[in-house]
Amino acid sequence: MTTDYMYITKCCEGQNFGQGQLSRYGNIELSPSAGVLNYGQGLFEGTKAYRKENGGLLLFRPEENAIRMKIGAERMCMASPSIDNFVDALKQTVLANKRWVPPPGKGSLYLRPLLLGTGPVLGLAPAPQYTFLIFASPVRNYFKEGSAPLNLYVEENFDRASSRGTGNVKTISNYAPVLMAQIQAKKRGFSDVLYLDSATKKNLEEVSSCNIFIAKGKCISTPATNGTILSGITRKSVIEIARDHGYQVEERVVNVDELIEADEVFCTGTAVGVAPVGSITYQDKRMEYITGSGTICQELNNTISGIQTGTIEDKKGWIVEVD
């Protein structure tokens, strides 16, 4: 759903982004030889604005998105906005579209920052100009199942990322390649695809657009971000919250066979929040997991959602008020 305004600023290679401006949401003009169109030189981020009961607007750890974009831009040989410029641009975009932020408990305003190589380049090289843009859309649940448990399929024929590639940065070129496996899985009734490492096909990596956790007793495990896995901001926050709640959290290699013994499995991400997994199918074997009331997943989701929406006190300095 389109909103009223978007934020946009440009800079040339070797320069710094300055203050951008808000303009009415609409199409942008690109040269056919733009770097992003020809060579996929682009990054995106995703974060949300939430409305408090008193009408105030909140952002959750926006500086982490800014840092991740800078890391990605360095990997993709791109200019990037400063952390302060990034966060200020988010605030401007939220305020300009504040009428689109849903009421408390009804959703959030999803914010999509884009960093694009928009300058013309025919030979393979970094673009001579870059555009930083943010648009927004009100959203509810990411998956069509809503808050119902997800049913995942372990993919063995396609890889999401490979060692020493770009799996650990949020480049646009990481996402279209997952569509074929995702579409095939959805045709078979699954919610999404769980990928394995490309080297051994024995270790869990991540779902198409979110991180994965498994829980056994008081121990929670998630694949370590070893260069092929995106370092999710929700992932990072959930790990900290879980440790605060007394859980042992391990970031390590997680073998696919550990799915057999797990009590719970859940996914994390800006779009999905903390989403329970009801089943995973691997080599035609379906494994089912505990979901619903009293689960670790629900406990962690309630806590992070409460912090994000202002109903639980933020003792970590994660919340940024928009005013």
| Residues involved in catalysis | 170
Whole-number Å distance between alpha carbons of 5 and 95 = 10
Cα torsion 117, 118, 122, 128: sign: negative
In whole angstroms, what is the distance from residue 304 CA to residue 308 CA?
6
Name the amino acid, one letter, at 175: Y
φ, ψ for residue 97, nearest 5 deg: -115, 25
Contact 138, 101 (CB under 8 A): yes
3-state secondary structure of 249: strand
| 240-275 burial: b if 16+ Cβ within 10 Å, else e | ebbeeeebebeeeebebeebeebebbbbbbbbbbbb
Q: What is the 3-state secondary structure (H, E, C) of 260-313?
A: HCCCEEEEEECCCEEEEEEEEEECCEEEECCCCCCCHHHHHHHHHHHHHHCCCC
